[in-house]
A and B are shown apart, each in its own frame.
Chain A
Amino acid sequence: MTFLWAFIIGGFICMIGQLLILKTNWTPARILVSFVVIGALLQVCTLFEPLQKFAGAGVTTPITGFGAGLVKGTFENIDKYGFLGIFSGGLTAMSAGIAVAIVSGLVIGMIFKSRSK
């Protein structure tokens, strides 16, 4: 059942992104930033976890999951390490994804040339 909701909720979030592109002419960077902030705020209001239980990857795969993960990691590290957690938590939680993105971007960027559009 989670599979169905992952498809529907995930698709719905992307649909909102597409609507923003069509109606506001926002750049991709701006849309990504907005969704990250929305995800972070959902996590702060403790609304993200119920959503995640319900739709699984439907809410964690869109970039909203990145924002929520940053906040979740920060809060967890604050619980564990106190003051230091404010600074260390976010990136700790997201470290694997960012590292893979950097390294794969570097390697692929070195192998393949950009096609002219």
Chain B
Amino acid sequence: MDKQEYAEYIKRITPKSKIWNSIIRAFVVGGLICLLGEGLGALYKMWLPNYDQAQIGSLVSCTLILLASILTGIGVYDKIGYFSGGGSIVPITGFSNSITSAAMEFRKEGIIFGTCANMFKIAGPVIVVGVAVAMLCGLGYFIVGLFL
């Protein structure tokens, strides 16, 4: 059975209601993570009134990243991921989870050549592509700026 046949087979045996179910779970869990981010933002704004919007956002991201990393360590995030699929992958917490779980997985190959070398196995492409795209856009913006 090749890859395509297998994909079709999976499609045939997966009931429709299951798809809806998992989409709704992704919606709820993803929404809740964003809601948590929004709540943290409101809290930080109260505590640190002299921080601007970007700094508050940065702080919120850091908190969510740290939280997801700890939850990954104690094995809770994987359970959330199993339940919600994309709901736990798409938020910034999923980015953090991919780093921490890779760090844990390769720990047995040593700290330098295991953990440090493999941490960015999944998250690496995100940073590489993100930086490359941002640089290209920046180059365009700079060149346009020269003529305006």
Q: Is the CB of B35 within 8 A of A17?
A: no
Across-interface contacts of A14 in B (CB, < 8 A): 26-27, 29-31, 33, 84, 86-87, 89-91
State which residues 1-38 of A face B: CB under 8 Å. 2-3, 6-22, 25, 28-29, 31-33, 35-37
Across-interface contacts of B32 in A (CB, < 8 A): 7, 11
Task: Count residues of chain B with CB under 8 A from any CB of chain A.
Answer: 83
Q: Is the CB of A10 within 8 A of B91?
A: yes
Across-interface contacts of A32 in B (CB, < 8 A): 89-90, 94-95, 98, 122-123, 125-126
Q: Is the CB of B103 within 8 A of A97?
A: no
Please measure, in the bound complex, the distance between the C-alpha atom of A94 and the C-alpha atom of B126, giving whole angstroms: 12
Please measure, in the bound complex, the distance between the C-alpha atom of A39 and the C-alpha atom of B70, giving whole angstroms: 26
Q: Is the CB of A29 within 8 A of B122?
A: yes
Across-interface contacts of A94 in B (CB, < 8 A): 130
Shortest beta-carbon distance, A5 to chain B, in Å?
9
Across-interface contacts of A87 in B (CB, < 8 A): 135, 138
Residue B148 at the A interface, CB < 8 A?
A: no
